Chain A
Amino acid sequence: MRIALPVEDKSMESTICQSFGRAPYFLIYDTESQESVFLDNQGAVSQGGAGIKAAQTIVDSKVKALLTPRCGEQAASVLSAANIKIYRTTNDSIRDNIEALTNGTLVLLDEIHAGFHNHRGR
């Protein structure tokens, strides 16, 4: 199964990024072949709709699941339109979370955050 994770750097030893839309990179990982690819997240530098852009990248990489600490409302609606499951990560280790997913111990992310659309003071 192909899965995606927001990560801080282009390495399996890197950590999971706390933000999905603003993560610098995405790891696309194949649990069968154990192949890994790192993608730039163009959403990270965009002026708005970062989550939507990030979700589009994830959809286009044809993954079945996203492992992330959090996810915004708009990103979640893009992902669900593509039937991508969103799992909540348990710590910031990439390997721990991939292992947890294959063992079936990761749970689906149920609280989706309303995006921070407030432009005040910026």
Chain B
Amino acid sequence: MINVRIAVLSGKGGTGKTIVSVNMAAVAEESTYIDCDVEEPNGHLFFKPRDLGTEEVFVRIPLLDDQLCDGCRRCVDFCRFNALAYVNNRLIVFDDVCHSCGGCVMFCPQQALSEKSKVIGEIRKGVSGGVSVITGRLNTGEASGVPIIKRLLTYIPRSPKPVFIDCPPGSACIVMESIKDADYCILVAEPTTFGVHNLNMVCELVKLFGKPHGVLLNKCLDAYNPAEDYCVRNEIKILGRIPFDKALGRLNSYARIPVRESEKYRELFKALLHTVTKEVRDETVVNP
């Protein structure tokens, strides 16, 4: 059996996306947790994994040979990220703006541009109980975390152990990259009107990618829940409800993993894992 890959998303930070992915990975016991929230990876704070090594992530950026450049500016016109400027008979490369598409190097008629490597972040591997914890981190000021995500996803093991991908918040290209290989997407939503707006954005994204998905309602109170209403209206599967609970908040603020400490949460996340696994299986039957 091939492993199931479950991506956990939310429209913005702070909805409980990390709590959900960390607890699901922990309750699965033998699993892989991949933190793709490379600008603010938090999962490792909960797992406190035993360190198994670090890999640096490089990108290729253009390097100019002044002697060969004749100032035709073809590279400047080509770069759609505007990482190049031509001033006072000199080409300026803005390393932090460059997205490493390689286009300028390819199109320079004088072969004045070559490539050099630059470190933009790192991947840290660790283990916590039966969970492999893989964390990506983007150095501050870098243009894009996408190269780190691409590298992170190569860490998905070929084993039957389930994989949980903690995605960056929002619905930008970096999120698309993170869910590319996922079999199923869990959208974590807060019970507010603003939460619905964010939920709608990620919903559009996963639909665009044709990913089977369901919503997990977090911070639920007894009151009316606009996110639940949204799911019902749009016929989106509700995977479960996590009640708003002070004890959970406390465990969270001490960076503890609730399923490793409390029977109640173990049951809650076990049920959730069961529901999601069943959803994935049903999907593969319908859409092999």
Contacts and interface: CB of A to CB of B under 8 A. Distances in A.
Of A43, A59, A82, A119, the most chain B CB neighbours within 10 A belong to A119
Given A56-B85, A56-B86, A82-B87, A121 B174 contact: no
B97 A52 contact: yes
Interface residues of B, number: 28
A97 to B, nearest CB: 25
Given A78-B92, A117-B143, A49 B97 contact: yes
Contact of A81 (B76, B79, B83, B92): B92
Interface string A31-74: 00000000000010011111011011001000000000000001
A78 B13 CA distance: 35
Nearest to A75: B85
Chain B facing A: main interface SS: loop
B76 A121 contact: no
Q: How large is the interface on A (under 10, 10 to 19, 20 to 34, 35 or more residues)?
A: 20 to 34
A77 interface: yes
B169 A121 contact: yes
Interface of B: 12-13, 39, 76, 79-88, 90, 92, 94, 96-97, 99, 141, 143-144, 168-170, 172, 174
15 contacts: A48-B97, A48-B143, A49-B79, A49-B81, A52-B94, A56-B82, A56-B85, A59-B87, A74-B94, A81-B90, A81-B92, A82-B88, A83-B88, A120-B168, A121-B172
